[in-house]
Amino acid sequence: MCTYSKCREWKVDEADGLINLYSMNLRKRPETSLICQYEVTKAIFNPFSPNIVLGATTSGYVLQWDIRAKQLPVAKSCLNQGGGHNHPVFGLAITGTQNAHNIVSVSNDGKVCQWSFGRLNEPIVSFNLKVALDPMNGVTQTEQIGITTMDFPEGEQDKFFVGSDDFGVYQCSFHLSPEQQHVSQAFYGHTAPVTKVSAHPRASQSEASAHSEHFSDLVLSSSMDWTVKLWSPKSKFEPLFTLENA
C-alpha cells in the first residue's frame, strides 16, 4: 500500500488524495486505486477485515474505504465541531480484538480520538495530550504536544507511544486522569523532530520459552537528526543505543 498527495497540480480534475494497493503478482501497475478529495497522510489495512482500508488526511478527516465497493470512501469522520480533528492527522491505529475493535487517531495539535467502526460521526473518547512546562510564578504551565507519529505495542489497548516535533518521545495512556494529561513518561534524546516510533512486537510462545530475555518493552524512534534510538521505557529514560548516519 502506498499513499500519495496530489502530484500534478495542473490537473484540477484529479483527486487530491490517492492510495494505491499493489500485488506481488502484478508489479507494473496497482491492483486497486482509492481516491478522495483530501491529501492523505497515512493509510492502514484493517487486520480484522482485509477489505477495509482506513486513511487519515491533512484536513483532519478519518476515512474508510471498502475495496469491494468503489474508489471513493464509504465513511468519513466528523471534524472539530463534532468532537473530531481539525489539524492534520499523522497517527492511525486499530486496537482490540476480532469481535471488538476500535480506531485510534491522533492529530498534529495533540488531539487523540477513539472511534467505533460504523460510527465515525462522533468519537467515543477524545482528549488532548499535553506536557508540563517549568512552573512560572508558582503556576505549572502545560503545552500541547505536536504529534508526528504514533504506535501501540502489540495487543495493547491502553498504552501507546507518540513522537513529536519538539524532539520528544512520550508514553501515553487512555486511562490516566486529565490532571496527568494522559502522558505517563517523556523521553528526550533527539535534536530534531521525531519522524517515527515503533514498539517491539510481542514474542510468540515458542520464542518466549526459548529465550529468557524479553524485548517487548523496547521502542525505536527515528528523527530528522539522522539518528535512530532504542529505548527501554521500563528501565531508564536515556536511550539504550543510538544508530547514526555513517
Give yes or no for residue 196 having a pLDDT over 90: yes
Residues 89 and 136 in one domain: no
Q: When comparing pLDDT for 42 and 216, which is higher?
A: 42
User: Is 102 within a domain?
Assistant: yes
Please indicate, yes or no, whether residues 102 and 139 belong to a single structural domain of this protein. no
pLDDT value of residue 131: 82
Separation of alpha carbons 64 and 89, rounded Å: 14
Query: Mean of the pLDDT values across residues 30-47?
Result: 91
Q: What is the pLDDT of residue 134?
A: 58
Q: What pLDDT, on the 0 to 100 scale, is given for residue 140? A: 53
pLDDT band of residue 10 (cuts 50, 70, 90) is: low
The reply to whether 118 falls in a domain is: no
Residue with cell 534524546: 189
The letter for the amino acid at 212 is S
pLDDT value of residue 212: 43
Residue 120 resides in a domain: no
The stretch 1-15 carries a mean pLDDT of 70
pLDDT score for 224: 95
On whether the CB atoms of residues 141 and 158 are closer than 8 A, the answer is no
Q: What percent of the chain has pLDDT over 70?
A: 85
92 and 204 housed in the same domain: no
Q: Are residues 166 and 201 in the same domain?
A: yes
Structural domain of residue 74, as residue ranges?
1-108
Is 116 a domain residue? no
Q: What is the mean pLDDT of the chain?
A: 85
pLDDT of residue 197 exceeding 80, the answer is yes
**Per-residue pLDDT reduced to its tens digit, 104-159:** 999 999 999 999 988 888 999 999 998 876 544 444 567 889 999 999 998 888 89
Render pLDDT for 221-241 as a digit per residue (tens, 0 to 9).
999 999 999 999 888 788 999
Cα separation, 14 vs 181, whole angstroms: 41
Are 98 and 170 in the same domain?
Answer: no
Half-sphere exposure of 152 (CA within 13 A, CB side): 19
Domain count along the chain: 2
Of the pLDDT bands very low, low, confident and very high (cuts 50, 70, 90), residue 7 is low
65 domain-assigned? yes
Residue-level pLDDT at 81: 76
Please tell me whether residues 98 and 144 are part of one structural domain. Answer: no
Do the domain assignments include residue 227? yes
Query: Per the domain annotation, does 146 fall within a domain?
Result: yes
Examine the domain organization and report whether 76 and 156 are in the same domain: no
Note whether residue 81 is domain-resident: yes
**Same structural domain, 157 and 237:** yes
- Tens digit of pLDDT for each residue in 50-106? 899 999 999 999 999 999 988 999 999 988 777 899 999 999 999 988 888 999 999
Residue with the larger pLDDT of the pair 157 and 215: 157
* Half-sphere exposure at residue 239, Cβ-oriented, CA atoms within 13 angstroms: 17
In 3D space, the residue among 67, 64, 63 whose CA is nearest the CA of residue 20 turns out to be 67
Q: What is the CATH number of the domain that holds 222?
A: 2.130.10.10
